[in-house]
Structure 1
Amino acid sequence: MGQETAPGRPRRRLDPTVGKARAMVGNLLGLKTTGKNRVVENPPLILVGCSGGPDSLALAAVCAFFARRGEVRVGAVVVDHQMQDGSAAVAQAAAAQLRSLGLSPVVVRTVDLEDDGVGPEAAARAARFAALDATALELGARNVLLGHTLDDQAESVLLGLARGSGTRSLAGMRERRGIYLRPFLRLRRDETLAICDALELEPWHDPTNQDNTYLRVRVRQNVLPFLGRELGPGIAESLARSASILGHDADCLDQLAAAEYEKLAERSTGNSAANSAENTAENGAETSAVNTAPPEIALAEDALRGLPPALRMRVLALAAVELGGVQPSLERLASAENLLARTGSAGPVQLAGKVSVWRISRNQVVPQEGRSYGKLVLRRST
């Protein structure tokens, strides 16, 4: 490695970009980068999600420094999405390089993508995080570190703007979210390349990062450079700074919405009269005695109407996600919200991830609950 020296020889000067990256990782993990090593008994395990590309490989190498100090154990997870020919070989090569850095354990996960109409990139992301979640749980990892950079953040904000997304999307990626940490969100992409060069690493360059059929690639190669030329330098930093500001706002709104959602959500096993008839028709009479309907969530209409729009949309989205769907688009949420006006169709409105929402009609009766007029119902189909 670029910073290692034999005993008795003068220490090579620390590359400033490597030092900057170490400080970012150390600050997020609560670890020091200088002073005497503090070897601890049973150090916690952290994992690095690594594709073998420059960003995640640089992160893994920086984390290896802390493993050598003995304060943490550092392992890695390489996810093979099987989206390209030769992906298995790429994953194994990345794993070998990670082991050469001293990371252990290094796990390669092969995943199958399930595209429920959300597109290949979203399907790959869902499969990747499922693999990371499962590995972290199995190994008892305290954190999983991801190599997203300031450039990734700027691209995410522009993509959110292009899609007309809300505050959470425009807030981009968070530095901390659950067990996931992103220490490089203030580091530029070219700096991760400099780290790989300084530490004599051999990153893999994903050919899809040059494929203009992907919107994110067009943003990276065309839109951001154009904005830099027209608006002046520092556009990526400005977008990332906006994401940070919006992130605090989004966190506050999410907390308020979660509190309202817990007050309103009425969870059931989906045994309404309409669901029972549907199950009998789809599955046969033999299943009618056993409730096989998926769970559903009812939300009182009057209470929803009383919420500010920012909270109302979030409450609807929380119900969809709890049922196993994905974050609905603003357009779909607006369609669901329109059901509250009671001026048109009672639904159903289809949300992403096979979740539908409808309002209970004035005459519909739910067994053992009396009349349930005045509720929106969300349910996920199997």
Structure 2
Amino acid sequence: MRHAVREWLGRYAPDGVVAVALSGGADSVALTAAACAEADVVDALTVDHGLQPGSAEVAAAAVALASKLGCRSAQVLTVTVERAGTGLGIADRDPDIGRSPGLGDRAGKARYPGGPEAAARRARYAALDEARQGLPVLLGHTLDDQAETVLLGLARGSGARSIRGMPEFDAPWGRPLLGVRRSVARELCADLGITPWEDPHNSAPEFTRVRLRHEVLPLLEDVLGGGVAAALARTAAHLREDGEVLDALAGELLAAARDGDGLRIEMLATAAPAVRRRVIREWLLERGAKSLTDSNLRAVEALVTRWRGQGGVAVGGSASGTRLVAAREHGRLILGSE
């Protein structure tokens, strides 16, 4: 654990000053202990979603533990998780601190936009970002979390980007433990004589990630002879390295293909498909498109490569609520609204 944190600090935070997201669970407790041993200054941030009975007591205990471990400061961030109808955007679940809002999928999706975990995640990250005082925030994602993320990405079938997993550093979020098994975090807590908080959500079978953790991955390990989690994490790392090269090539093509607010068709038509779709994706995102899917990108790509006089392609809504439509006009790819 200490080696993993030390290596991360050397690459991304050489000044040795960081914040840590501490829920009181085993992963975040072990990360905080290792960070206090390796970093010069550690500030602990604990999020209380207020959605489970006793959440305030859990948060208070985490803050008290942070002080014992050697954190410079520790504070509780109390958040309000927005309910359905608030217009919140939703991101996929990221397995980090303060995971559970304490609601099952069926009840939660009716009450919270995208489900309770998505709403809690949005509130959590916003609170951490506001409280971090310009510091990188370390999150307790482990190799096991990475493997689960890759499997979820495979199920979505959205291409290599969806199975690249989580990066070690996506400013301001740092993940030093992506090469460390979850069991090691528990061993460290035991060695320190600490009993971590057990989030009841982590054993609730109504959540997809919980079933992956307790049913799917153990079965794969048994059938394939072990090492599956590590192999999935290595696959994510390889794809991330390849993706970074393709993203750089796409950035160069995007700059060259720009024509006002549109893109020149002739430059896109001769590009490799993997680069071309990245250009289209980045262009749509920067123009305000949300929740793009693989089918969206391929339909827009068809305006470039399989032009038969077809009409515009709806690519979802923008932040302002308007409907965005990509179309081909006078040798340019353009984006309008309806």
Q: Shorter chain as normaliser: what TM range?
A: 0.7 to 0.9
Amino acid at match of 2:145: D
Q: Secondary structure at the match of 2:158?
A: coil
1:26 aligns with 2:6: yes
Partner of 1:347: 313
Q: 1:301–1:358: structure 2 CA closer, same or farther, 3 Å change rule? A: farther
Q: Note closer, same or farther for the CA distance 1:259–1:361 as it changes in structure 2 (3 Å cut).
A: closer
Structure 1 counterpart of 2:283, one-letter code: A
Q: Which has the larger radius of gyration?
A: 1
Which residue identity is paired with 2:89? Answer: D
Aligned to 2:187: 194
1:237 to 212, 224, 230: 230
Q: TM-score, normalised by structure 2?
A: 0.79
Which residue number corresponds to residue 256 of structure 1?
A: 249
Structure 1 residue 195: Cα displacement: 0.8
Among residues 189, 198, 201, which one is paired with 1:205 in the alignment? 198
For structure 2, the residue ranges without an aligned partner over 5 or more in a row are: 92-113
Q: How many Å apart are 1:236 and its aligned residue? A: 0.9
Tell me which residue corresponds to 2:134: 140
How many residue pairs end up in the alignment? 305
Aligned-partner Cα distance in 2 for 1:82–1:213: 21
SS in 2 for 1:172: coil
Distance 2:156 2:181 in 1: 24
Secondary structure at 1:219 match in 2: helix
Return the alpha-carbon distance in structure 1 between the equivalents of residues 24 and 212 of structure 2.
23
Q: For the Cα contact (< 8 Å) 1:55–1:147, is it kept in 2?
A: yes
Q: Equivalents in 2 of 1:83, 1:302: separation in Å?
A: 53
**Superposition deviation, residue 82 in structure 1:** 4.3
Cα displacement (A) at 1:117: 5.8
Aligned twin of 1:131: 127
1:358 maps onto 2:306 in alignment? no
**Match for residue 116 of structure 1?**
89
For residues 317-359 of structure 1, the C-alpha deviation after alignment (integer angstroms, 9 at most, x for no partner) is: 2234334555522223223333444443313331686575423
Counterpart of 1:105? 73
Matches within 5 A, 1:170-189: 170-189=163-182
Runs of 4+ in 1 over 6 A off after TM superposition: none
- Given that residues 332 and 351 in structure 1 are in contact (C-alpha distance below 8 angstroms), is that contact kept between their aligned partners in structure 2? no
Instruction: Determine which of 78, 84, 91 is the counterpart of 2:59.
Output: 91
Deviations 1:247-306 (Å, cap 9, x if unpaired)? 111111122222323334567xxxxxxxxxxxxxxxxxxxxxxxxxxxxx5333333333
Give 5+ residue unaligned stretches, structure 1: 1-20, 32-39, 268-296, 363-371
Q: TM-score, normalised by structure 1?
A: 0.71
Residue in 1 that maps onto 2:333: 375
Q: The residue matched to 2:165 in structure 1 has which SS?
A: coil
Question: Are residues 57 and 234 of structure 1, via their aligned partners in 2, closer, same or farther at CA, if it must alter by over 3 Å?
Answer: same
How far did residue 133 of structure 1 move?
2.8
Alignment equivalent of 1:217, drawn from 210, 216, 220: 210
- One-letter identity of the residue aligned with 2:66: L
